[in-house]
């Protein structure tokens, strides 16, 4: 009996030590991922400030993510990407009104949109003249878009300069309407996310925020924006 108890005690100790070792490995990977995430943005900023820049904003980059409006699913998705190496972002998108600062990566694959937002394939590249499409999740980084209005400013910082764009239209389209991404030859940003923001399941519409380079913005139909605000301000669900 004493031998059996001793053996059980040894097993308990082994299991406890194994559990502690796994916990330590998980914590190291998680902390390492968060450090890498911060370093990626900081590295981008250091690189961009070493280049000649037309805008020269001199703004400091935030190194934390505000989960306040995020769904639990999106928080989990973001944290799952922290141990992955995404390389340097192409740009940084800031909208001061909603406290948004997010790295812009290439593509719209799920891991990319969990970590940040992504340049939509087929739209122009940063630095080229035309309309750059940027996609993001409605329950993550782009949920705050529900609170922007025409006339609000957004800043796009690339490795070579920083430019300000003014929101000139906000509208809803069907998922298959790609006309919003057409290139008109003038510098513009088009932000795309799903709508309604708190819809349960696959969202039936797309929320389109169009912004033109400062000094070239257009007017939009004010009643349309008022309707969008009324619809978007009624949360239905906290999770997706």
Domains observed in the chain? 2-232 (2.40.260.10)
Stated as kind and residue range, the H or E segment containing 33 is helix 2-49
Phi, psi (degrees; rounded to nearest 5) at 184: -95, 5
Positions in the chain short of pLDDT 50: 28-37, 40, 44-62, 219-224, 226-227, 229-240
What's the pLDDT at 65? 86
Classify 13 as helix, strand or coil: helix
What's the pLDDT at 58? 39
CB of 48 closer than 8 Å to CB of 157: yes
Q: Model's pTM, two decimal places?
A: 0.70
What's the pLDDT at 91? 94
- Give the C-alpha separation, 122 to 107, whole Å: 10
Classify 161 as helix, strand or coil: coil
- Give the C-alpha separation, 171 to 179, whole Å: 12
pLDDT digit string, tens, across residues 46-69: 444 444 444 443 334 445 788 999
Tokens in use for 1? 């009996």
DSSP one-letter code for 152: -
What's the pLDDT at 154? 97
């Amino acid at each position: 009996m004493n031998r059996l108890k001793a053996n059980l005690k040894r097993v308990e100790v082994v299991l406890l030590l194994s559990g502690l070792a796994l916990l330590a490995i998980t914590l190291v990977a998680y902390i390492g991922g968060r450090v890498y995430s911060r370093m990626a943005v900081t590295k981008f900023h250091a690189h961009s400030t070493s280049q000649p820049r037309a805008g020269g904003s001199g703004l400091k980059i935030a190194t934390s993510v505000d989960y306040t409006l995020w769904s639990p699913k999106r928080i989990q998705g973001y944290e799952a990407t922290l141990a992955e190496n995404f390389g340097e972002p192409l740009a940084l998108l800031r909208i001061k009104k909603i406290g948004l600062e997010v790295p812009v990566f290439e593509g719209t694959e799920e891991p990319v949109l969990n970590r940040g937002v992504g340049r939509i394939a087929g739209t122009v590249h940063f630095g080229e003249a035309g309309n750059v499409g940027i996609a993001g999740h409605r329950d993550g980084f782009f949920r705050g878009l529900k609170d922007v209005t025409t006339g609000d400013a957004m800043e796009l910082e690339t490795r070579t300069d920083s430019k300000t764009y003014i929101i000139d239209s906000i509208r809803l389209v069907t998922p298959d309407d790609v006309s919003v991404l057409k290139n008109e030859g003038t510098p513009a940003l088009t932000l795309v996310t799903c709508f309604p923001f708190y819809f349960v399941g696959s969202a039936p519409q797309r929320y389109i925020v169009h912004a033109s380079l400062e000094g070239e913005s257009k007017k939009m139909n004010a009643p349309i924006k008022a309707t969008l605000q009324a619809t978007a301000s009624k949360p239905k669900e906290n999770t997706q």
